[in-house]
Each structure stands twice: as structure tokens, then as C-alpha cells.
């Protein structure tokens, strides 16, 4: 396999100006004819034109209407190379043939299990449709003609506007009757990764949105007819997104039609194809009975995300795939802000930071660690990572923290002014932010080029006589593969200082005030949060005029993606912050820090099989198992699990009466489901309490949960009760699971939750059940949602995946190898679970390593899985 490097980037020798595609879709084979207007970059020479193509059969090539003999072109399994081309603009016509029915990789054009044709081209799937310069800096205007059997595929969709459609009088292909056609024209030039085509039996929910300049946009969400009632929330989310982007960024939708299609088989969440977003059904369909609060929130966020891509990704796109975070980091940041504005800001922030910490910090500490802008890849699909997305979003958020909301908006405006219609780089974004604010941020660029989570150690000293408070910062970025030595980066450290009453002290002055964003709040009043600009390895900041020794609140709102270490912050300080901090994120964080500390302290005892001391914590949701394992020298899954379970039970037994009261008081009197902050908060508190209670496995708590299960009027409550019951092995659990399956067996998305629940079980010995479930009628290896439901959660369990006998690792290797033959993208996501094997004890290391080696040496392995397996072993 070939590794591709950022430093090797070269522009193409040919531009593509317009592309006319013609598809004749049919059961046996699909033919694709493309007619491209090609503009040579240089009129004095004609370099070879190298087109990408995979699993495509070449039928013919014509240059300016003249057929080239196929013996004269160079054709390999990856490329079609054309030589001796005109130096003037010319027409290139290519005929080709593909087989969507046998395409199980779900990239390129494929046939979904629901019977419809659909496409997925990002990152490099267009080359599975036809020969093309498949890279994002080749931007062209596309016209797409689709012909297909009218009865089987009544709806034909592509990007842009429908400019023609009708029945075919004389069939153009294979002598078939009953064909019809549609012609779509997209007026905006775009890279081929944004191309989309859908054909099938679909029905739409229709609505309209009036833009702020007064244009009416048609909105259509397409699903099989029976699912249309479940698209109401998605449509609502779409309209909210359109309005939000106008209000917050002044960005208006640019076409008269916006389509969303839901498909049951999709490798990831959704795809932002120009004006034809394609979504995993899971992120479109919702009803109170079948979807939880978490599902509703995810739909809102992802509908927003894909819609926001229209500007950040589509109008301004990436020069090359190394720049992926240019569109993804920025768009994730935008969807986070959108969801915050639509719901609770601190709750959203806490969730996002928790994800960053568990998934991204772990990636950044393992063999797959890479910068937000990677330097190289074998398979681009492997770099749609939490680093590029979530850490990338943190990088964008830091611009806003550094420049302020208004400064950030100015930077965005300049970015669009300069780059609309272009394919650009992360430096271009950086330059727009810098220039719009005349800011000096140069060290900040290191966030794009250096992997690894910085460790920021902050210690303090108060000088009562001088009334000054010194904050001493030290930053250190750990080595990562290929990057042994790091340079300090620019870390915005948001700090608040609390007085003994728990109020924010006014921060008036800083000794030689240099490296500070401002000591004024946005309204020009005195500051209560200061943003210290930490850009050296070691640095001191001294606050002046402080009448008493403060309790410091560091890294407010998680102002930078770092691991914060605070040797001078005491447990009393943490309790004080938990009670008083005006920064809600840091109030939560104080509890988490205490939870982490206390559990880590208990781990040696658990490892020695000692009785665990009594413990009552303040925070209710404890840091997760993998977060704790990450903080240990040698991760011990069994001890971590024992301790966390113990702490949960301790809390539950100490607080049993409070939890019981919480459940009773937070039941809804209204059977009607409303997805709003108030009701969500109420449900999540009630269900959290129920979960704690059931950890006790007592007769009355089981009875209570059964009752909640039976009386639930929405999926959030029903599923939470079921999850609570499933903590404890036995008949009650088995019967509840059977009952749930019986009730919902015809609703795939609900059955997937049922799979998740069993897969994530921490009842020891679960591998046996996993094997049984692989053969269950509800499971299908070809469907990514099934794999993500059944296999993914299993790999996140401490006790079962990391079972001492290696059975979990072996199971995963088997599944990966089977899956790789069908869908390499999904297989490679699965194998990543093995990549951090070096964290564990020797026994587990050798078991996991053996499975990785077994995978790596398998014949015919995909590049996707090869890249992860080999890098994990390196």
C-alpha cells in the first residue's frame, strides 16, 4: 500500500470546467457516460492526464468526439492515463460500466437493502462511479441525467435543480420499456466528492423556508412512505438550522431546493452532498415511541451539521484531504454552537468535552495519534477521526476564545469574502482570522501540525503583603509516532478567581500585562474571567490588587484541549468550586476531578483485593472506565470496573432515599412527549436515579424499574428502565429483553438499541452471548448500523472486551476479517479498538498483539484495515 504525503501536494495539469453525467440504472449493470470539458493549465505542453478509477469497466474514451483505441490508453486497476492530449480546451467523453448490486463497500454507487440506489463519494468514492480526477481541488459544474425503470425507481434525484424529466419513448438501453428520466443541473461548481444520486421508491415530507432575503426554498425529506410521519423532528431541525446560520453568520441558503434522503445502509452518520444530503435513517427518523432524547438531540445536531456544510465545506472546500479539518472542525464547532443555542449550553459543552476526553485524548496517546492536519495517510477514510473532527472543533473554538465572538465573526466574513468558490487550506482560514483582527497568532498554527494532548501544569502562590497572586504555567506536549520533539503552542487559559464568599473577584490588573487577552468583559466592564495566553514552555502571570487568597477556577468552559494538572488545588478547593463556580462547566469539572482522584486512589486496593472504603461523592455521573484506564500507568480493566461499580453502589445505597424521591418527583404527569430542555432534564435526572437504584439489585428497586418500564409512554423512559434492569443478570433481565424485542421487532432502529444494550453489558462472559447474537435474525453484517450496534459497544467494555483469556480480542479479530471482505471502512473502524493494546498488562498485550498480527498477515486485506493494524503494531 502506498502512503500519501501532504508535502507532495501538486496542483493538477488540467482543470475540469463542466461535467455532464448520464446514468442508465438497471438491475444487472449500470452504465455511466461522462462528458467533461477539460481546460489544460498550460497551453504549451500536455502532460499525461491521470484519472482515478476502481472497479469500473472502461467502455470507450473519446477526445473531441473522436474515439481513442483502448489499446492506446493506459489502464491499471487504479488509473486510466491519457497521453498526447490537445493543449487547447477539449471534450473528454468516457463510457463505463459498474455493478452497484454487488457493491457492499457502500461507497460509490450502491444498492441499499431497501431497494434504492444511492451514492457515497467522500472521500474517494467517485472513482468507483467513473474515471475522474477524484480530488477536492478539481471543481466543476455538474449536470446529471438519470434513466431508470419508472415503476421500480419512480423518484430520481441528484444535485441542484431539476431542469427536465419525462418518460422515455424509445428505450436507450438494453431494449427495456417503462423507463423514465430526470436531468439535474447544479449551478455551483463542486468537487466530485459532493456529487450524489438517489433513485428509488420514496415519499417526501415537504415544507418551505423563507430566507432572510425573501426567497422561498422547497424543503423535502425523502423516506419510504411508511416512515414519513417520523420526519417531523428532522424537518423542524432543518428549518432551525437555516434560520440559525442566517442569524449568527449571515449565511443564507443558495438554491431553491434542499433535499434530504434517509437510507438504512450507510457507513457513517450523514453526507453533505450539495442540495442532496444523504442521511443514515438513524439520524432522520424519530417518534416519541421509538426514539430517545439522545436520538432527538443527535438528529438536531447532525441535520444542522450537514446543512452548515453548505458554506463551510461546499461553497468553500478543501484543497486536499489533509485539510479535512478545515471543513469538519469548523462545521462541528458550528453544530455545537447551534445545539447550545437550541438547548442547554453547559450540558452540551459537558457532553462534548466528555467525548473529547474519552475518545480523542485516547487516540492522541496511541499509535494512531495524528495532528488535526495529518502529514500522511494510506487510506483517507481512516482519518475521519475524533482528532480531525472534535479536536479540530476545539481549535476553531480557541480562535473564538482568543478573538472574541465579534472578532471570530469578522474572521468568518473575511474567509468567505476571500475564498467563496475555492478549495483552500487551514492556513487560509488562519490568515482570515488573523487579518480580520490584526492579531498575532503565529504560534497557534502548531495546533494543526503537532499531535498529542498538551499537559498544562498550573500552580499558584498568593502573596498577602503584595496582594498579588501568581499563576505559574508549564506546558509539555508528549511525543507521538513520528514526532519525538514538540514546540510549545498557544494555549488560551481562561481563569476566574473566587473570593471566600464564592463570588468572582474582579480582575483589574496583571503584572506587565502583556500576554493577556483582556481584563475587560465583552460589555467593557471589569473582567471576571481572564484569558491568559500561554505560549512558552514555562511562564508566570501575576494578578494584582487581590484583597484575599482566591480559589482559582482554571480552564473555564474548557478553553483549550489540554490535560490540566493543578498540584496546588486542594480537595477543599474542588468542593468549593463545585458549590460556587459561576462557570457551570467548571462546577461539573470540579466534581469529575474529585471522582477521578477518589477512584484512582481506590484502584490499588481493588488490585490487592482489599475491602473498599466507604465513599460518598458529590458528582452523580462518574468519569468512565476508559477515562480512568487512560490515567493509569498500566491499565487494569478488572480493577477499574470493580472500583467504578463499587462507587456506584455506594452512592446508591447512601442516597437511596434521595434517588427514590428523585424518581417519583420527576415522573411526567403529561403522557405527551416534548423534546425541550425542561423535560429532557427531568427525564435524564429521573432515569439516572433509576440506574443508580437498580445497581443495588434489591427487590424493591427491581419492582420500581419494572413498573417504570411498563408505564413508560416514550422510548426515552422505556429504554432507560430496560437498561437499568439489564445491569443485573437473571430472569428479570432475560424476560424484559425478550419482551422488548417482541414489542419492537419490526422497528429496526429500536432493535438496534436492543443489540446495543446486550453488547455493552458488563456481565462477565458476554462473548458467548455476542456469538449467539451474530446469528440472530436481527443482525446483518452487511448493515453498518447493525455492526455499530452489536460490535462497537462490546469493544468499549472493560471486563468483556478485555477479558483475561483473550476471548474478546479473538472475537473482534474474527468479526473484522469477515467484515473486511464486504466493507473495509466499517471493518477498519472496528479494528481500531485493538490499537491501544500497549496500555495493558503483559498477558493482555500478548493476546491482543497476536490478534493484530493475525489480522495484519491475512491475504487480501483491505488498505483500510492494513493501515490501522500495521500502525498499531509498529
Please state the separation of Cα 761 from the chain's center in Å: 24
3-state secondary structure 573-621: HHHHHHHHCCCHHHHHHHHHHHHHHHHHHHHHHHHCCCCCCCCCCCCCC
Binding status of residue 388 toward ligand B3K by CB under 6 A: no
Q: Contact 532/541 with Cβ under 8 angstroms?
A: yes
CB of 322 to ligand B3K, least distance (A): 15
Nearer to Zn ion among residue 227 and residue 272 (C-beta): 272
Binding status of residue 265 toward ligand B3K by CB under 6 A: no
Binding status of residue 708 toward ligand B3K by CB under 6 A: no
Q: Contact 32/121 with Cβ under 8 angstroms?
A: no
Nearer to ligand B3K among residue 253 and residue 541 (C-beta): 253
- Residue 123's binding partner out of ligand B3K, Zn ion, none, with CB under 5 to 8 Å set by partner kind: ligand B3K
Nearer to ligand B3K among residue 192 and residue 590 (C-beta): 192
CB of 256 to ligand B3K, least distance (A): 23
Which of residues 20, 122, 293, 636 is near ligand B3K by CB under 6 A? Answer: 122
Nearer to ligand B3K among residue 268 and residue 827 (C-beta): 268
Q: How many residues bind ligand B3K (CB under 6 A)?
A: 12
Q: How many residues bind Zn ion (CB under 5 A)?
A: 2
**Rounded CA separation 869/33 (Å):** 38
CB of 80 to ligand B3K, least distance (A): 23
Nearer to ligand B3K among residue 382 and residue 800 (C-beta): 382
Which of residues 14, 258, 384, 719 is near ligand B3K by CB under 6 A? Answer: 384
CB of 333 to Zn ion, least distance (A): 11
Rg (CA), the chain: 28
What 3-state class would DSSP assign to 91? strand
CB of 383 to ligand B3K, least distance (A): 9
Binding status of residue 124 toward ligand B3K by CB under 6 A: no
Residue 759, phi then psi, degrees to nearest 5:
-70, -35
Residue 30, phi then psi, degrees to nearest 5:
-120, 130
Stretch that binds ligand B3K, among 175-183, 265-273, 761-769, 806-814 (CB under 6 A): 265-273
Q: Is the peptide bond before 123 cis (omega within 30 degrees of 0)?
A: yes
Q: Contact 715/683 with Cβ under 8 angstroms?
A: no
Which of residues 271, 278, 477, 817 is near ligand B3K by CB under 6 A? Answer: 271
Nearer to Zn ion among residue 327 and residue 786 (C-beta): 327
Binding status of residue 391 toward ligand B3K by CB under 6 A: no
Please state the separation of Cα 805 from the chain's center in Å: 33
Binding status of residue 272 toward ligand B3K by CB under 6 A: yes
Binding status of residue 381 toward ligand B3K by CB under 6 A: yes
DSSP string, 281-319: GGGT---TTT--HHHHHHHHHHHHHHHHTTTBTTTBEES
Nearer to Zn ion among residue 306 and residue 820 (C-beta): 306
* Residue 749, all three cell numbers: 432502529
**Of 124, 306, 625, 708, which one is the catalytic site residue?**
306
Q: Which of 580, 587, 696 is nearest to 645 (CA)?
A: 696
279-318: contacts with ligand B3K (CB under 6 A): 305-306, 309
By CB atoms closer than 10 A (0-12, 13-18, 19+), residue 512 is exposed
Nearer to ligand B3K among residue 381 and residue 535 (C-beta): 381
- Residue 773's binding partner out of Zn ion, ligand B3K, none, with CB under 5 to 8 Å set by partner kind: none
CB of 126 to Zn ion, least distance (A): 17
**Rounded CA separation 646/696 (Å):** 10
How, if at all, do strands 538-544 and 468-476 pair?
antiparallel
Binding status of residue 134 toward ligand B3K by CB under 6 A: no
Q: Can you state the angle between helices 715-725 and 699-711, rounded to 10 degrees?
A: 160
Stretch that binds ligand B3K, among 266-274, 700-708, 750-758, 827-835 (CB under 6 A): 266-274
CB of 820 to ligand B3K, least distance (A): 16
CB of 707 to Zn ion, least distance (A): 42
CB of 389 to Zn ion, least distance (A): 7
306 is catalytic: yes
Nearer to Zn ion among residue 30 and residue 331 (C-beta): 331
CB of 310 to ligand B3K, least distance (A): 11
- Residue 755's binding partner out of ligand B3K, Zn ion, none, with CB under 5 to 8 Å set by partner kind: none
Stretch that binds ligand B3K, among 78-86, 268-276, 552-560, 589-597 (CB under 6 A): 268-276
Which residue's CB atom is positioned nearest to ligand B3K? 122
Nearer to Zn ion among residue 134 and residue 335 (C-beta): 335
- Residue 384's binding partner out of ligand B3K, Zn ion, none, with CB under 5 to 8 Å set by partner kind: ligand B3K
Q: Contact 275/186 with Cβ under 8 angstroms?
A: yes
**Rounded CA separation 665/659 (Å):** 10
- Residue 381's binding partner out of Zn ion, ligand B3K, none, with CB under 5 to 8 Å set by partner kind: ligand B3K
CB of 613 to ligand B3K, least distance (A): 46
CB of 490 to ligand B3K, least distance (A): 27
Helices (H) and strands (E) in the chain, counts: 27, 32
Which of residues 139, 155, 262, 268 is near ligand B3K by CB under 6 A? Answer: 268
The full length of the chain comes to 874
Which of residues 328, 337, 625, 747 is near ligand B3K by CB under 6 A? Answer: 328
Stretch that binds ligand B3K, among 169-177, 264-272, 279-287, 721-729 (CB under 6 A): 264-272
Q: Which residues contact 159 (CB under 8 A, 6 or more apart)?
A: 142, 144, 184, 186, 190, 194, 195, 196, 273, 274, 275, 276
- Residue 122's binding partner out of ligand B3K, Zn ion, none, with CB under 5 to 8 Å set by partner kind: ligand B3K
431-470: contacts with ligand B3K (CB under 6 A): none
**Rounded CA separation 286/235 (Å):** 11
278-337: contacts with Zn ion (CB under 5 A): 328, 331
How, if at all, do strands 141-149 and 14-24 pair?
parallel
Nearer to ligand B3K among residue 154 and residue 269 (C-beta): 269
Please state the separation of Cα 809 from the chain's center in Å: 25
Nearer to ligand B3K among residue 275 and residue 797 (C-beta): 275
Q: CB neighbours (10 Å) of residue 211?
A: 15
Longest C-alpha distance within the chain, in Å?
96
Burial per residue of 737-768, b for 16 or more beta-carbon CB atoms within 10 angstroms, e otherwise: beebeeebeebbbbbbbbbbbbbbbebeebbe
**Rounded CA separation 589/238 (Å):** 33
Q: Which of 366, 402, 215, 142 is nearest to 868 (CA)?
A: 366
Opening angle at CA 282, ends 794 and 710, nearest 5: 75
- Residue 143's binding partner out of ligand B3K, Zn ion, none, with CB under 5 to 8 Å set by partner kind: none
Residues that bind ligand B3K (CB under 6 A): 122-123, 268, 270-272, 305-306, 309, 328, 381, 384
Residues marked active site are found at: 306
Residues that bind Zn ion (CB under 5 A): 328, 331
Amino acid at each position: 500500500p502506498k502512503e500519501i504525503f501532504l508535502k507532495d501536494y501538486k496542483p493538477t495539469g488540467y482543470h475540469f470546467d463542466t461535467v455532464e453525467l448520464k446514468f442508465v440504472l438497471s438491475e444487472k449493470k449500470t452504465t455511466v457516460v461522462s462528458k467533461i470539458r477539460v481546460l489544460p493549465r498550460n497551453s504549451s505542453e500536455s502532460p499525461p492526464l491521470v484519472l482515478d478509477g476502481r472497479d469500473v469497466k472502461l467502455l470507450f474514451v473519446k477526445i473531441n468526439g473522436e474515439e481513442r483505441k483502448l489499446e492506446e490508453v493506459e489502464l491499471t486497476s487504479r488509473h486510466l492515463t491519457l497521453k498526447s492530449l490537445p493543449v487547447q480546451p477539449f471534450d473528454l467523453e468516457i463510457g463505463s460500466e459498474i455493478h452497484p448490486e454487488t457493491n457492499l463497500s457502500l461507497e460509490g454507487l450502491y444498492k441499499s437493502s431497501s431497494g434504492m440506489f444511492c451514492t457515497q463519494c467522500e472521500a474517494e468514492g467517485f472513482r468507483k462511479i467513473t474515471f475522474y480526477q477524484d480530488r477536492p481541488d478539481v471543481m466543476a459544474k455538474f449536470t446529471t441525467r438519470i434513466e431508470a425503470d419508472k415503476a421500480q425507481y419512480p423518484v430520481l434525484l441528484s444535485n441542484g435543480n431539476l431542469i427536465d424529466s419525462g418518460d422515455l419513448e424509445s428505450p436507450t438501453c438494453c431494449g427495456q420499456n417503462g423507463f423514465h428520466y430526470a436531468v439535474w443541473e447544479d449551478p455551483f461548481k463542486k468537487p466530485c466528492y459532493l456529487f450524489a444520486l438517489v433513485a428509488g421508491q420514496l415519499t417526501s415530507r415537504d415544507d418551505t423556508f423563507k430566507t432572510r432575503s425573501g426567497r422561498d426554498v422547497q424543503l423535502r425529506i425523502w423516506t419510504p412512505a411508511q416512515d414519513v410521519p417520523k420526519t417531523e423532528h428532522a424537518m423542524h431541525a432543518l428549518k432551525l438550522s437555516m434560520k440559525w446560520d442566517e442569524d449568527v453568520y449571515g449565511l443564507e441558503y443558495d438554491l431553491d431546493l434542499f433535499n434530504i434522503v434517509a437510507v438504512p445502509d450507510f457507513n457513517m452518520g450523514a453526507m453533505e452532498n450539495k442540495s442532496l444530503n444523504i442521511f443514515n435513517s438513524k439520524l432522520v427518523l424519530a417518534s416519541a415511541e421509538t426514539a430517545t432524547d439522545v436520538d432527538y438531540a443527535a438528529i438536531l445536531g447532525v441535520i444542522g451539521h450537514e446543512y452548515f456544510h453548505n458554506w463551510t465545506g461546499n461553497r468553500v472546500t478543501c484543497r486536499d484531504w489533509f485539510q479535512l479539518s478545515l471543513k469538519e472542525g469548523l462545521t462541528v464547532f458550528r453544530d455545537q454552537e447551534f445545539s447550545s443555542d437550541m438547548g442547554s449550553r453547559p450540558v452540551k459543552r459537558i457532553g462534548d468535552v466528555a467525548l473529547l476526553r474519552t475518545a480523542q485524548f485516547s487516540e492522541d496517546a496511541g499509535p494512531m495519534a495524528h495532528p488535526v492536519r495529518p502529514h500522511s495517510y494510506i487510506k483517507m477514510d481512516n482519518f475521519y477521526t475524533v482528532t480531525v473532527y472534535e479536536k479540530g472543533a476545539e481549535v476553531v473554538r480557541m480562535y473564538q476564545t482568543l478573538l472574541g465572538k465579534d472578532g471570530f465573526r469578522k474572521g468568518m466574513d473575511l474567509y468567505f469574502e476571500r475564498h467563496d468558490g475555492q478549495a483552500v487550506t487551514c492556513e487560509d482560514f488562519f490568515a482570515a482570522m488573523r487579518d480580520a483582527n490584526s492579531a498575532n497568532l503565529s504560534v497557534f498554527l502548531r495546533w494543526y501540525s503537532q499531535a498529542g494532548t498538551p499537559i498544562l501544569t498550573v500552580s499558584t502562590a498568593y502573596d498577602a503583603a503584595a496582594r498579588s497572586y501568581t499563576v505559574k504555567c508549564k506546558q509539555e506536549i508528549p511525543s507521538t509516532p513520528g514526532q519525538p520533539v514538540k514546540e510549545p503552542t498557544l494555549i488560551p487559559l481562561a481563569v476566574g478567581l473566587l473570593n471566600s464568599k464564592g463570588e468572582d473577584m474582579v480582575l483589574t490588573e496583571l503584572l506587565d500585562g502583556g500576554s493577556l487577552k483582556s481584563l475587560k468583559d465583552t460589555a467593557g466592564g471589569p473582567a471576571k474571567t481572564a484569558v491568559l495566553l500561554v505560549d512558552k514552555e514555562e511562564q508566570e502571570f501575576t494578578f494584582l490588587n487581590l484583597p484575599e487568597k482566591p480559589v482559582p477556577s482554571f480552564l473555564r468552559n474548557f478553553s483549550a484541549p489540554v490535560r490540566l494538572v493543578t498540584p496546588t488545588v486542594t480537595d477543599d478547593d474542588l468542593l468549593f468550586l463545585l458549590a460556587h463556580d459561576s462557570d457551570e462547566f467548571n462546577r461539573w469539572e470540579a466534581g469529575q476531578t474529585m471522582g477521578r482522584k477518589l477512584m484512582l486512589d481506590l484502584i490499588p486496593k481493588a488490585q490487592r483485593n482489599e475491602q473498599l472504603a466507604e465513599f460518598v461523592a458529590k458528582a452523580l455521573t462518574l468519569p468512565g472506565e476508559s477515562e480512568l484506564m487512560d490515567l493509569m500507568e498500566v491499565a487494569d480493566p478488572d480493577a477499574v470496573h470493580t472500583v467504578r461499580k463499587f462507587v456506584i453502589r455506594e452512592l446508591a445505597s447512601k442516597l437511596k432515599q434521595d434517588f427514590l424521591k428523585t424518581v417519583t418527583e420527576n415522573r411526567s404527569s403529561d403522557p405527551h412527549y416534548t423534546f425541550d430542555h425542561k423535560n429532557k432534564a427531568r427525564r435524564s435526572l429521573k432515569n439516572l436515579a433509576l440506574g443508580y437504584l437498580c445497581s443495588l439489585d434489591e427487590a424493591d428497586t427491581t419492582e420500581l424499574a419494572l413498573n417504570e418500564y411498563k408505564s413508560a409512554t416514550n422510548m426515552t423512559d422505556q429504554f432507560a428502565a430496560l437498561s437499568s434492569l439489564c445491569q443485573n443478570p437473571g430472569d428479570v433481565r432475560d424476560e424484559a429483553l425478550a419482551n422488548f424485542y417482541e414489542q419492537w421487532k419490526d422497528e429496526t432502529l429500536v432493535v438496534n438499541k436492543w443489540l446495543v444494550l446486550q453488547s455493552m453489558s458488563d456481565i462477565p462472559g458476554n462473548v458467548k452471548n455476542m456469538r449467539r447474537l451474530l446469528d440472530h435474525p436481527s443482525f446483518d453484517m452487511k448493515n453498518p448500523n447493525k455492526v455499530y450496534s452489536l460490535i462497537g459497544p462490546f469493544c468499549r467494555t472493560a471486563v468483556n472486551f478485555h477479558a483475561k483469556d483473550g476471548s474478546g480480542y479473538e472475537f473482534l479479530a474474527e468479526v473484522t476479517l469477515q467484515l473486511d471482505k464486504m466493507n473495509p471502512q466499517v471493518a477498519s473502524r472496528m479494528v481500531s479498538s485493538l490499537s491501544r493494546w500497549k496500555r495493558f498488562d503483559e498477558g493482555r498485550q500478548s493476546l491482543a498483539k497476536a490478534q493484530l498480527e493475525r489480522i495484519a498477515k491475512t491475504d487480501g486485506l483491505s488498505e483500510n484495515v492494513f493501515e490501522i493494524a500495521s500502525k498499531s503494531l509498529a
